[in-house]
Each structure stands twice: as C-alpha cells, then as structure tokens.
Amino acid sequence: MLIFIIFKSMPIQNLKIVKKLKFLVASKSQTNQQIVDQVEEDAQTHRIINNQQEREDDRRVDHARQELRSENELANNMSSRKTTALGISVVINLILLAALLITWYLIFLHK
C-alpha cells in the first residue's frame, strides 16, 4: 500500500516539477527573446547613427571639394590675370623700347 501511495504521489510531484520547468523554460525563452529584441534594437540604432555619420562625412567631403574647386578657379583666374598682365607689360616694354630706339635714331643718327 505504501508503494502504491508513493507511485501515486510521484506523478503529481512530477507534474509540479514539469510545470515549474515549463515556467522556467518559458521565462528563460522570454528573457532570451527580450535580449534578442534589445540587440536588434541596438543594432538598428547603430545603423542609424552610422548612416547619419556617413551622410555628415559625405557633406564635409563635398564641402571640402567645393572649396578646393573654388580655390582652384581663383588660382586659375589669378594665373590668367598674371599672364595677361605679363603680356601687356611685355608689349608696353617693346613699345617703349621702339620709342627709345626711334628717339635715339632721330637724335643721333638722323643728322
């Protein structure tokens, strides 16, 4: 009779243990799912931050390129102006030299 009672009570205890195990497994599963959700959320946040940072870096690079283009255009314009000024200076010097030679010719050799 005692053996019958022991065997009869074991399934109830086993059922309680199974219920506790199910609860523990369910809560562990829920905890794991929360961890997975948090990791996915963190990953999404990092992707957003990285995308924003990349866009900001791209803007900086574009701005730097635009400044470089402007500086190059300014340098080209200055170079062109210097070349033009040098050309004008050479022409004026040639005209003055010709005038000087004509003047010397008229003063000294024309007599």
Burial 60-78, CB ≥16 within 10 A → b, else e: eeeeeeeeeeeeeeeeeee
Q: Looking at residue 21, what is its pLDDT?
A: 64
CA-to-CA separations, 26 to 17, 35, 72, 90, in angstroms, rounded: 14, 14, 68, 94
- Per-residue model confidence as pLDDT tens digits over 32-42: 788 888 889 98
| CA dihedral (33, 36, 42, 44) positive or negative | negative
Mean per-residue pLDDT, 42-46? 89
Per-residue DSSP letter, 111: -
Q: Give me the number of domains the chain comprises.
A: 1
Nearest-angstrom CA–CA distance, 61 and 71: 15
- Tell me, yes or no, whether 4 lies in a domain: yes
Whether 27 shows a pLDDT value over 80: the answer reads no
Residue 21: domain span: 1-84
- Tell me, yes or no, whether 69 lies in a domain: yes
Tell me the CB-side half-sphere exposure of residue 51, using CA atoms within 13 A. 6
Whether 7 shows a pLDDT value over 70: the answer reads no
- Per-residue model confidence as pLDDT tens digits over 72-110: 898 888 888 888 889 999 999 999 999 999 999 988 886
